[in-house]
């Protein structure tokens, strides 16, 4: 029976737990946080909703409750303050992720670890190295949210259901991420062909505006309300669904690259097939020259941050 543990029950972890309760995907949700009182409050509050949702056992627990969990989500740590980049969180959150892994190590041998703490690509690498698990067992939420933001922006511009828009953001979940215009299609129709029948006359300037909106969206939300929680929780739930239901879905999660796209020994987001085993395979797409160059820059940024942690 699928048990999911959520470590770090702040705005992201708590919203994810609620999303998961509504989804009916898990039969057991354990909430773990250093702030035990607030976490018990979340558990009790959610339990009061059980009359309205699919049955699920929800409780506040300890690290030992990760025993038997199919998936452990790591959402603990500091978040960006207004104007702060994700990369500025790296030292603090690497310490938190390492200490969590030390404490859960006896209970996670067969689990899949899904990291969402920022900077998520670097934290995925830290968790992978300190856990000693196989690379397919450790993934980061990566640019699943950024890909959804890209799809949303395109859907608004094109006036079409976001679910008919296929588009990927890859690389760092952060300022250097790369939006793959080469792969954009609407219901399988390449963007260029779709645009021919459209009354909007988009230009490269429009593309730049969309890129700016996607890349800056977290900054705007944090400026307005202090944190992001809904979009990211839905994105993590989408990954959980693929894992728990063995969907073989293609999502841009953060994973350790082993030569794919020409990169080694660092985690970043690329399209991956997700099954019950975790990362089933990394899918290599052909990129435009400009996209490959931008991806190279994104990996340079990530590599220098990983190096600064002493790896």
Ligand X SMILES: NC(=O)c1ccc[n+]([C@@H]2O[C@H](COP(=O)([O-])OP(=O)(O)OC[C@H]3O[C@@H](n4cnc5c(N)ncnc54)[C@H](O)[C@@H]3O)[C@@H](O)[C@H]2O)c1
Which residues of this chain interact with ligand X, rule CB under 6 A? 7-13, 33-35, 75-80, 89, 93, 96, 99-100, 116-118, 120, 141, 145, 173, 227-228, 232
Query: How far, rounded to the nearest angstrom, does the alpha carbon of residue 127 sit from its chain's CA centroid?
Result: 14
User: Which residue has the CB atom at the shortest distance from ligand X?
Assistant: 10
- 3-class DSSP state of 188: coil
| Closest of 232, 7, 251, 228 to residue 139, by C-alpha | 251
Minimum separation from the CB atom of position 288 to ligand X (A): 26
Minimum separation from the CB atom of position 149 to ligand X (A): 10
Nearer to ligand X by C-beta: 117 or 191? 117
Nearer to ligand X by C-beta: 73 or 158? 73
Angle separating helix axes 120-131 and 90-104, nearest 10 degrees? 30
- Helical residues (DSSP H) of 48-164, grouped into ranges: 90-104, 120-131, 144-158
Minimum separation from the CB atom of position 193 to ligand X (A): 32
Other Cβ atoms within 10 Å of 260 Cβ, number: 15
Integer CA distances (angstroms), 198 to 165, 210, 303, in order: 15, 17, 42
Minimum separation from the CB atom of position 290 to ligand X (A): 25
> Which tokens hold the place of 22?
């509504």
> Which tokens hold the place of 24?
């009916």
Minimum separation from the CB atom of position 203 to ligand X (A): 30
- Catalytic residue (choose from 173, 200, 207, 220): 173
Nearer to ligand X by C-beta: 35 or 284? 35
Nearer to ligand X by C-beta: 38 or 207? 38
Residue found under tokens 């898990």: 26
Angle separating helix axes 36-47 and 11-23, nearest 10 degrees? 20
200 is catalytic: no
| Closest of 49, 47, 48, 45 to residue 37, by C-alpha | 45
Nearer to ligand X by C-beta: 10 or 171? 10
Q: ∠ CA 298-303-306 to the nearest 5 degrees?
A: 130
Active site residues: 173
């Amino acid at each position: 029976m699928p048990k999911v543990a959520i470590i770090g029950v702040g705005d992201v972890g708590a919203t994810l737990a609620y999303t998961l309760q509504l989804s009916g995907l898990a039969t057991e949700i354990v909430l773990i946080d250093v702030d035990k009182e607030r976490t018990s409050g979340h558990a009790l509050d959610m339990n009061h909703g059980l009359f309205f949702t699919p049955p699920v056992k929800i409780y506040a627990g300890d690290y030992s409750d990760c025993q038997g969990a199919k998936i452990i989500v790591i959402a603990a740590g500091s978040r960006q303050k207004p104007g702060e980049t994700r990369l500025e969180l790296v030292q603090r959150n690497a310490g938190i992720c390492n200490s969590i892994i030390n404490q859960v190590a006896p209970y996670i041998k067969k689990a899949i670890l899904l990291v969402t703490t920022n900077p998520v690509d670097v934290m995925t690498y830290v968790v992978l190295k300190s856990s000693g698990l196989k690379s397919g067992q450790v993934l980061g939420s990566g640019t699943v949210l950024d890909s959804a933001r890209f799809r949303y922006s395109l859907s608004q511009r094109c006036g079409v259901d976001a679910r008919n828009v296929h588009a990927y953001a890859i690389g760092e979940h952060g300022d250097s991420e790369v939006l793959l215009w080469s792969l954009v299609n609407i219901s399988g129709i390449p963007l260029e062909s779709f645009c021919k029948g459209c009354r909007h006359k988009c230009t490269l300037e429009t593309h730049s505006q969309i890129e700016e909106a996607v890349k800056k969206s977290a900054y705007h939300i944090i400026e307005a309300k202090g944190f992001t929680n809904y979009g990211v929780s839905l994105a993590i739930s989408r990954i959980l669904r693929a894992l728990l239901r063995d969907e073989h879905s293609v999502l841009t999660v953060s994973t350790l690259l082993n030569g794919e796209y020409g990169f080694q020994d660092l985690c970043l987001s690329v399209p991956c097939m997700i099954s019950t085993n975790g990362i089933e395979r990394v899918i290599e797409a052909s990129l435009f020259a400009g996209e490959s160059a931008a991806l190279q820059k994104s990996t340079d940024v990530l590599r220098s941050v990983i190096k600064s942690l002493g790896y």
